[in-house]
Structure 1
Amino acid sequence: MAMQLQFPCAGVRLGASGPAHVNKRVTAFATQSRSRSRSPSRADDDVDWVQATSAFFQRDTRPIMLFDGVCNLCNGGVKFVRDNDRNRRIRFEALQSEAGKNLLRRSGRAPDDISSVVLVEKDRSYIKSEAVLKIMEYINLPFPQLAFFLHFVPLFVRDFMYDRVANNRYTIFGRSESCEL
C-alpha cells in the first residue's frame, strides 16, 4: 500500500490515491508504486490515478474545477467563475465526464461522487467549502479578499452550510438535461 501521512491540523493527506475518506479536506499527491495484488473487481484500486491523469497538467498547469454538469446552480457557478476570471486561470470539467471521473479518482473520491465541487491542482485537490474558497482565490477582486476572511469561519460551519445547499440543489435550483459546457 502507498505510504500515507496525515497532518490533522492542516487537513492535508500525502500519498498516492487510496480509499476516499469523507472528511478528507485536501489531498496532496505523491506518486508511488504499489506492490499489493487485488481482486479484479477492484481494478481501479491498482491504477495510480495521479500518474494516469498527469497528462491533464503537462501542457496546461491551470487548476481544473469539477462541477455537476446537470445542476443549474453548478452551471451558474461556472458561468460566474468564467465571468470573473479575466485571466482564464481556471479550467472546467463536468463530474459526469470520463475526464471528470478520472480526476475524481485522482482526488481520492469515487468516480460517481457528484456531491461536491472539486478543484484539482497539479499537486492537490480541494472539496466542498475548501474548493469554493480556493476558486475564489483564483478569480478577480474582491473575491480573493472575501475568501481570506471566510477562512476565519470554522470549517465545520462552512461545510455544514455547503452540504445544506448541495443536498438540496436540484430541488431549489433544478437540473438540466445536459451539461452547458
Structure 2
Amino acid sequence: MSADAGHPVIVFDGVCVLCSRWVDFILRHDRDGRFRLAAMQGVGGRALLAAHGLSPDDPSSFLLVEDGVGYSNTDAIARVLRQLGGRWRLAGSLMRVMPRAVRDPLYRWVARHRYRLFGKRDQCRLPAPDEAWRFID
C-alpha cells in the first residue's frame, strides 16, 4: 500500500489518547487537507507499518509515508510540522537542530509509556463525518 493518491499518510495508534490528540492537531492545522490518516489497527495502517519495516503489533513508532518513503519517530514529526507552515514550520526546523541520538530516545520513552501517561481508549478514534475523507480504512 502506498500513500493515498499522492498524499502523505500518517499512521497513528487509534486507541492512544495522545495520538488521537495529535490527529486532532493535524486536522485543525492542515487546512489544505494534505495529510491522510490511517490507524495502525486498521488494514491500511498495518500494511504501511509492515511495508516500512515496523511491527504492526508494537505500536511504539510514529510513521509518515511520503512519496513512497517512510519516516519514523521524530523525523516524521518534524516533517509533518514543517509542512503545516507558519510557526509549525519553525518548530519542525528547531526540532531537527537537536541531534537524533537525543530526540529519538526521548520520543521512544514517551511512546513506550504513553498509555500510562495519557490514557488508552477502548476503541479506535472514529472520525467525524466531515473528517472521514481524510482517513484510510
Fold similarity call, TM over 0.5: yes
2:103 equivalent to 1:163: no
Give the drift of 1:105. Answer: 1.5
Give unpaired runs (5+ residues) of structure 1: 1-52
| Larger relative contact order (CA 8 Å, sep ≥ 6) | 2
Task: Point out the structure with max Rg over C-alpha.
Answer: 1
Matching residue within 33, 42, 49 for 1:104: 49
Q: Identity of aligned pairs, percent? A: 35
CA RMSD of aligned residues (A): 1.3
| TM-score normalised by L of structure 1 | 0.66
2:74 equivalent to 1:129: yes
2:130 matched residue in structure 1: none
2:31 matched residue in structure 1: 86
Give unpaired runs (5+ residues) of structure 2: 127-137
1:44 matched residue in structure 2: none
Give the drift of 1:111. Answer: 2.7
The size of the alignment, in residue pairs, is 126
Give the drift of 1:140. Answer: 3.3
Write the mapping of 1:29-68 to structure 2, written as runs, cut at 5 A. 53-54=1-2, 56-57=3-4, 60-68=5-13
2:134 matched residue in structure 1: none
Q: Tell whether the 8 Å contact from 1:90 to 1:138 is kept in structure 2 after alignment.
A: no
Detail structure 1 runs of 4+ shifted over 3 Å in the superposition.
none
Give the drift of 1:178. Answer: 1.1
Specify the SS of the correspondent of 2:37.
strand
Give the drift of 1:106. Answer: 1.5
The AA in structure 2 aligned to 1:166 is: A
Give the drift of 1:168. Answer: 1.0
CA distance in 1, matches of 2:56, 2:114: 20
CA distance in 1, matches of 2:109, 2:53: 23
Q: Tell whether the 8 Å contact from 2:54 to 2:61 is kept in structure 1 after alignment.
A: no
2:62 matched residue in structure 1: 117
CA distance in 2, matches of 1:78, 1:91: 10
2:105 equivalent to 1:172: no
